[in-house]
Structure 1
């Protein structure tokens, strides 16, 4: 457990975590806003934009029109492209993203390896930036059986591409299956000039210690990451996993309540205040469209006033029906 004196007192000599908000806006209108580090849109109906800070994520939102997710910092921002990587930087923070077509590399494993090799090379040019949080969106994530399942092959490729880059500890991460263009792999990350503090969940086995039944390569991520200034917790994709096993197979409501219990355990282990508030943006990834209204209803009851984007996405284990990630600001 991280000590409370280390977490709740904002370290004023460290850059404040970017503000993460959901807003109704057009991508082009954000270009001139000060401190704009990144803006994410969701679904095929979202307008496109050639700004490197913009990424249209291949996930559909159950609520239309969907807001944008906006990251802002208290500094001027520079941005550009480096081969396949789009990036922006300002105030001690870095956004980087890439989109790849699996057909160019021979499948998901080779594409993941190429993607993480490119990200590792790009980050090596940034002079000591620490990767704190990563998002991975993968088509057909559960297709295939055994070690041939696409998610497991993605994990194999990711590990090969990363090499020893995360030897000092894994970042927080999400991996979700999208229903957008086939063969599209999207990855984006948040990095900073200072290291964060990885947080694990005492109710769960750490992901990198999963037994062999979950694939040749264990998923490489921390359950959450306490940001350098101790002013926010970046929460990885969290589902109804207890120990290392999936819980409540086939029972949506029980899975959702178990997921919320895991979120509270993470907050407690980071010495963050219990619960979520109106400044704590979350995403709930729902596998079956028929379940979306019930998930919304339960979350409104359990998390009143909390901004939650309800997304159509497949969890990395086929028996899991819902997953939640997001932010808790101190």
Structure 2
């Protein structure tokens, strides 16, 4: 505004103007609450867009050999791995909190899920699957047989350090801390024997109590007993229901006639676990030596993710099939 201080010559009159100084200070504009950044909204914007058509992994039995370095390996019976990945992939797309968990906690299986979401199935991805699974079994004559119990696969090979339940023991004397990670929660079958899936919530609570009580009541370092135990659920929980399928165990409880197969509609959609709410995502089904995933999308639609599907596509489960009884050894829930 320096021009205000210049001399003016209008009609022969000379006038000198001076810069006007104002003592009024403007108040800073307050940012509206609707313009304040919200971390939850940021996560929702960053996560993958909801898609009804998710990519589907194909079983290694239907594919040619994978290539690792200069070696060609025929990968067989990948259904246990594929059903787990399809379940995690769905949660990655449908739930913002689980998307954040996958992107922030890096490991081989999380990277695999991200790659499947972004690029879809490819020969490169199948080669990576072979790399992940090559430690599950010995390669014989160029063949890697990945037939394995689905809970064992999670616990020992692909998610051993990702907790469904985490128990922390702190020694108040020497400050020693020990953390126990349970990747798969083995359920107490008694409530399920008695009430079928209506007893799932009680079975989960009893199992947590069992795991916590089973931990040592003394410090591993100083052998003191002045310890504090705390426990928490993970970003997801895998629930192992195989004990509920053992007929001999049910007979010993005096419940030989209890049901050992359940419909998808019976599975509770929500669980209260370690003071947090969890949402049901998938039921891993086992039929004739083959695993596949029955997945409930965020929209409520049921889908069958079967890596032996001839069309190599995700299939919608009809209302009639939802009422069909199935053998369900594993359930997958995510924290919401």
TM-score, normalised with respect to structure 1:
0.32
- Higher-Rg member (1/2): 2
* TM-score, length-scaled by structure 2: 0.32
Structure with higher strand content: 1
> Which has the larger helix fraction?
2
